[in-house]
Structure 1
Amino acid sequence: MSVHIDPKIFDSYYNGCCNGTFWPLFHSMPDRAMFCAEHWRAYVQVNQEFAEKTIKALEILAKEEPADSGTPLVWIHDYHLMLAANTIRNIAEERNLKFKLGFFLHIPFPPWDIFRLFPWSDEILQGMLGCDMVGFHIEDYCLNFVDCCQRRLGCRVDRKNLLVEHGGRTVRIRPLPIAIPYERFVQLAKAAPRVIDSKQKIVLGVDRLDYTKGLVHRLKAFETLLEKHPEHREKVTLLQIAVPSRTDVKEYQDLKEEMDQLVGRINGRFTTPNWSPIRYIYGCISQDELASFYRDAAVALVTPLRDGMNLVAKEFVACQINSPPGVLVVSPFAGAGEMMHEALISNPYEIDAAAEVIHRALTMPEDERTLRMNYLRKREKVHDVNYWMRSFLKAMGTLITEDGDDVLPTTMQPVTLDDFDEYLTKYIGNTSKLALLLDYDGTLAPIAPHPDMAVLPEETKRTLQRLANLSDVHISIISGRNVHNVKEMVGIEGLTYAGNHGLEIIHPDGSRFVHPIPVEFESKVSDLLKTLQEQVCRDGAWVENKGALLTFHYTNTPVDLRPEMVATATQLIESAGFKAGKAHCAIEAKPPVQWNKGRASIYILRTAFGLDWSERIKIIYAGDDVTDEDAMEALKGMAATFRVTQSQIVRTAADRRLPSTDSVLTMLKWLERHFCERLPRASVHPEDASSGNTR
């Protein structure tokens, strides 16, 4: 049943209100939005006409279908029809028509401080609340919507269960991330002929030419990559496909001109007789060509400034049938960035950092590329478009009608076992094996003025011992300390101990792993130790010799003396050819090897559980230091990760934050309870087990 709209009304509705107002506003770009009463009136009129046609369809269905054929479902899509539901419901109730009403928004829903800028925001909220259920891509959009409903309309809401009470009804809000026909793209990739003849690595971008896609930022990041990493010149090409969009709108015309000029400038700057850094395709390409580009690209950049989900990321993953696979880079401001944790995350606004992420993607080891892509492909294969549709219909069929009270505490209580129930129970599920990887200082033991004073609390040690006695739990302690020192400080047999950030590892059976260090650095360590002691070891500062590396400590140095001392120590370390790494009131001098806690974690897991470890275990990593971020990034999406911190400004790749070592102990107790509940009744409780490891 078609809907006929007057061309002038449609232009005001579509180009004026939908694309001129809602598109930029909902993508958190209010400076690009225009607010025009005429466009709003056109929007109201078009939504009214769609609602009336829907009512006619429901009336026809009611006459033709038998009474026991079930309740019809009306499924409304996207920001073009946010008012229609309320009109449909009002008319249908007058005419005694039975139906269920659902809505799905394909773009982001903005936070309150942006949404409130729209002069008719209450009408939009009430329009969407005309549905029985409202779906969004991710939970953040759901919470934004619930917040706006409470603050603008005064609705009673339940944030925990995502419920909004409105007009005597309870509306269910649900995160339902959209997906793709996965197998169809797999088949396209298998059948598509090769269209990339060059032996160069291809960094691929596929986008509509739209200001939300971050295309200008992407080109500048690629330019920075070529500046900072000249080793990629003549070896890497950026293939940017820009599909024309809204070509009659001046803003989009200006964007095309800016893109043309930027591509020309970068190519003019770096082009050689045999290579141009950017290949720019402005136009549409066939699905076969697209699948071929997806399949053969080394890196895919999905880095919008804001996006509801972005299915390009999922299409690229589905087409990654080659071995080794490519690497996916996504923006944290796209829904895909919230879901596809194994991808590399790149903030498009941080040009220098974005360039470094591209460099990391281009130089990523094959085993990590394969591991990350296997996780991504497995998820997208299961959660395909059919799964999305079934999820929506299932949610529509189990609507909640009870009232939900939202009781909020006035202050945050100390971390309890209950705080881990929802998160870790959901993550661990019924998995029988757990790998627990823990930092020592600041995670298991409180930070102390001197490393020798950082003693493991007795209760923490007892809890670790009981966990170690469980056959399903494998514990590794990964520390910046010397491996023998950390083993001595923990004092529990049967664990894996990694020292010097994983350069040295002692396995439970006593076997050792030592990452090779360039020979010339063995003598340089003693030279650097002497230099640091002579030039910066004063006012309480001292150097800890860990064998393979050194740590310059300034915990006891007066605060006003630290900046100059830190700068001098850093310069001395780097001049000697070492890497200077920040730690808690310390600087670590590390040999220049590509090894850190992240690589060490993967090595430990592979050694303990075999090459297919990711299929059989769940992983928890907890650490408090910047060095632990290497592990959190390496295990992103594959583990539950915790950053122990009380700082409000620390940046972390961890999934959750914990305030103290006490909260780590609480987590360990939760794990003990969880795994003990699985033991047969005849089994010995770990409280009663001997102090030795019984595995």
Structure 2
Amino acid sequence: PEWLRKVILVMVVVPSRDTVDHYRALKHEVEQLVSRLNGKFGTFDWVPVQYIYHAVSFNELITLYREADVALITPLRDGMNLVAKEYVAAKAHKPRGVLVLSEMAGAANELTEALSINPHDRHSIAKALHEALTMQEKEQEWRLRTMQTKLKNYDVRHWAKVFIQEQKKLMQSNHKRNQARRLHLPSLQSAYHQSSQRLIILDYDGTLVDFDPDPQAVAPDQELLDILEQLVADAHNKVVINSGRDRTTLEKWLGHFPIDMAAEHGVWMKQNGKWTQNPNLSKVWMPEVKSMLEDLVKRTPGSFIEEKDYSLAWHYRQIDKALGEKRVREFRDVLVYLTHNQDLQVLEGNKVVEIKNAGVNKGNATLAWSQQQAWDFILAIGDDLTDEDIFRNLPAEAYTVKVGLAPTAARFSLPGVAEVRSTLRRLAGIA
């Protein structure tokens, strides 16, 4: 309220695609909103929103940049956003002003001295505007000068050079990594039926069931239960579920089957009907990391924390993928700092980041079964980065299967959950 009759928002809206129905409807909505605001708060000598619906000349634009005390730039998604950089550059002769920039703009990764806001959070925007309007001139100058130096150093030539270098690195990396070939079912069936000591290792989420925004909403359906029942009924099979899920959920969903399981990537292991805990695990690190994740959840509505016995997971399945990935980049370095002296490991999965004790992974858990005896048939199926440890720890002749098309250490691949279930049905002899 203290800014009434003191601040004017100048909205420059350049006409674009005005023949498209959706754009016309959006223009009408914006104009109605501006009209209501000006009608409610405006006075004879003050109008809170100056709405400009036409292109402005270069000189006019530069004048607006130079005179603006605050630049409020709030794209919901933007590859870079030149307007933010133009505003900073226009302040070269008079470094006064504050840039308030959406964290969803690519430029936000470079212009870190701007006030960063979540464009979906109006309270965050209001708070940033108040901070900008009350910021001391000395701080304004420091922020602008710092960003101007970045613009001079990281120009288009620098960008092109780095882009080409990174492309070369990516090409070299992809060349070294294996792209698994599609699993040939007849060959698999032949090897399966010719063997008598079989080890079958299966991930759960993304392998036996599709992902869901609610992790508890993917209990095994009747089809999956029938498949597992037939597989374990064969005395020649040892079936293992190797998952990142907590043991309580796995036991609730699958505990009635005579199968072995690894929970939380090997923190807990169930063999011959008995759960045992991996030794030498610590929980002293969890409060500090959880506090940091809770702050992340506050800044990212729709994300949530899953607390397990000896690990923490931050899920962002229900939010915009680009925002989730941006958050991961932001706190990755913080997590490395928090965990580097505590023997911890950070795992990035499918829209989830998990922090756990180092040395505990699905690959090491797999060794508990793969080294039990001389198996003449091993099948391992998984979809996640965490399953790569399984593939790498199995013998070269094992049938390792990646769900999806990403580069992998596995020998073979299947497109999705439906194909995994179809393959297991055929092996189990279910029509």
Q: TM-score, normalised by structure 2?
A: 0.54
* Of 250, 265, 271, the match for 1:501: 265
* Of 432, 445, 457, the match for 2:221: 457
For 2:360, the equivalent position in structure 1 comes to 595
The number of residue pairs the alignment matches comes to 253
Tell whether the 8 Å contact from 1:501 to 1:597 is kept in structure 2 after alignment: yes
Report the alpha carbon displacement of residue 561 of structure 1 after superposing the two structures with TM.
2.1
For 1:533, the equivalent position in structure 2 comes to 294
Would you say 1:486 and 2:247 are equivalent positions? no
Tell whether the 8 Å contact from 2:380 to 2:400 is kept in structure 1 after alignment: yes
CA 1:563 to 1:458, structure 2 compared with 1: closer, same or farther past 3 Å?
A: same
Identity %: 23
Tell whether the 8 Å contact from 1:536 to 1:565 is kept in structure 2 after alignment: no
For 2:347, the equivalent position in structure 1 comes to 581
Would you say 1:428 and 2:199 are equivalent positions? no
Residue 523 of structure 1 aligns to a residue whose secondary structure is coil
Tell whether the 8 Å contact from 1:621 to 1:642 is kept in structure 2 after alignment: yes
Would you say 1:624 and 2:383 are equivalent positions? yes
For 1:405, the equivalent position in structure 2 comes to none
Report the alpha carbon displacement of residue 518 of structure 1 after superposing the two structures with TM.
4.5
Letter in 2 for 1:672: A
For 1:552, the equivalent position in structure 2 comes to 314
Residue 627 of structure 1 aligns to a residue whose secondary structure is helix
Residue 257 of structure 2 aligns to a residue whose secondary structure is coil
Report the alpha carbon displacement of residue 568 of structure 1 after superposing the two structures with TM.
2.9
Tell whether the 8 Å contact from 2:324 to 2:351 is kept in structure 1 after alignment: no
Tell whether the 8 Å contact from 1:505 to 1:514 is kept in structure 2 after alignment: yes
Report the alpha carbon displacement of residue 429 of structure 1 after superposing the two structures with TM.
5.4
Deviation string 1:92-111 (CA, Å, 9 cap, x unpaired) is xxxxxxxxxxxxxxxxxxxx
Report the alpha carbon displacement of residue 565 of structure 1 after superposing the two structures with TM.
1.2
CA 1:561 to 1:349, structure 2 compared with 1: closer, same or farther past 3 Å?
A: closer
Report the alpha carbon displacement of residue 487 of structure 1 after superposing the two structures with TM.
2.4
For 2:421, the equivalent position in structure 1 comes to 665
Residue 276 of structure 2 aligns to a residue whose secondary structure is strand
Tell whether the 8 Å contact from 1:570 to 1:587 is kept in structure 2 after alignment: no
Letter in 1 for 2:287: S
Residue 668 of structure 1 aligns to a residue whose secondary structure is helix
Tell whether the 8 Å contact from 1:446 to 1:455 is kept in structure 2 after alignment: no
Runs (5+) with no aligned partner, structure 1:
1-346, 355-414, 677-686, 688-695
* Of 265, 276, 290, the match for 1:513: 276
Letter in 2 for 1:658: L
CA 1:559 to 1:660, structure 2 compared with 1: closer, same or farther past 3 Å?
A: closer
Report the alpha carbon displacement of residue 559 of structure 1 after superposing the two structures with TM.
3.1
Question: Partners in 2 of 1:560 and 1:656 — Cα distance?
Answer: 29
Q: TM-score, normalised by structure 1?
A: 0.34
Greater relative CO (CA pairs within 8 A, separation 6+) = 2
Report the alpha carbon displacement of residue 636 of structure 1 after superposing the two structures with TM.
4.5
Structure 2 matches for 1:185-196, cutoff 5 A? none
Would you say 1:561 and 2:323 are equivalent positions? yes
Tell whether the 8 Å contact from 2:400 to 2:411 is kept in structure 1 after alignment: yes
Structure 2 matches for 1:350-365, cutoff 5 A? none
Question: Partners in 2 of 1:573 and 1:638 — Cα distance?
Answer: 37
For 2:56, the equivalent position in structure 1 comes to none
CA 1:492 to 1:557, structure 2 compared with 1: closer, same or farther past 3 Å?
A: same
Runs (5+) with no aligned partner, structure 2:
1-169
Structure 2 matches for 1:668-683, cutoff 5 A? 668-673=424-429
Would you say 1:438 and 2:202 are equivalent positions? yes
For 2:409, the equivalent position in structure 1 comes to 653
For 1:634, the equivalent position in structure 2 comes to 393
Structure 2 matches for 1:362-373, cutoff 5 A? none
Question: Partners in 2 of 1:527 and 1:487 — Cα distance?
Answer: 29
Question: Partners in 1 of 2:292 and 2:423 — Cα distance?
Answer: 43
Question: Partners in 2 of 1:349 and 1:562 — Cα distance?
Answer: 28
Residue 443 of structure 1 aligns to a residue whose secondary structure is coil
Residue 435 of structure 1 aligns to a residue whose secondary structure is strand
Tell whether the 8 Å contact from 2:200 to 2:378 is kept in structure 1 after alignment: yes
Residue 671 of structure 1 aligns to a residue whose secondary structure is helix
Residue 486 of structure 1 aligns to a residue whose secondary structure is helix
Report the alpha carbon displacement of residue 464 of structure 1 after superposing the two structures with TM.
0.5
Tell whether the 8 Å contact from 2:346 to 2:356 is kept in structure 1 after alignment: yes
Deviation string 1:289-329 (CA, Å, 9 cap, x unpaired) is xxxxxxxxxxxxxxxxxxxxxxxxxxxxxxxxxxxxxxxxx
CA 1:571 to 1:349, structure 2 compared with 1: closer, same or farther past 3 Å?
A: closer
Structure 2 matches for 1:144-183, cutoff 5 A? none
Letter in 2 for 1:617: D
Report the alpha carbon displacement of residue 349 of structure 1 after superposing the two structures with TM.
5.5
Tell whether the 8 Å contact from 1:532 to 1:569 is kept in structure 2 after alignment: no
Report the alpha carbon displacement of residue 457 of structure 1 after superposing the two structures with TM.
2.5
Report the alpha carbon displacement of residue 348 of structure 1 after superposing the two structures with TM.
12
Question: Partners in 2 of 1:631 and 1:518 — Cα distance?
Answer: 21
Question: Partners in 2 of 1:588 and 1:542 — Cα distance?
Answer: 12
For 2:96, the equivalent position in structure 1 comes to none
Moved over 3 A (4+): 347-351
Question: Partners in 2 of 1:618 and 1:455 — Cα distance?
Answer: 28
Tell whether the 8 Å contact from 2:370 to 2:394 is kept in structure 1 after alignment: no
Question: Partners in 2 of 1:429 and 1:465 — Cα distance?
Answer: 18
Report the alpha carbon displacement of residue 350 of structure 1 after superposing the two structures with TM.
5.3
CA RMSD of aligned residues (A): 2.9
Question: Partners in 2 of 1:444 and 1:572 — Cα distance?
Answer: 34
Report the alpha carbon displacement of residue 669 of structure 1 after superposing the two structures with TM.
1.5
CA 1:350 to 1:540, structure 2 compared with 1: closer, same or farther past 3 Å?
A: closer
Structure 2 matches for 1:81-480, cutoff 5 A? 419-425=184-190, 427-428=191-192, 430-480=194-244
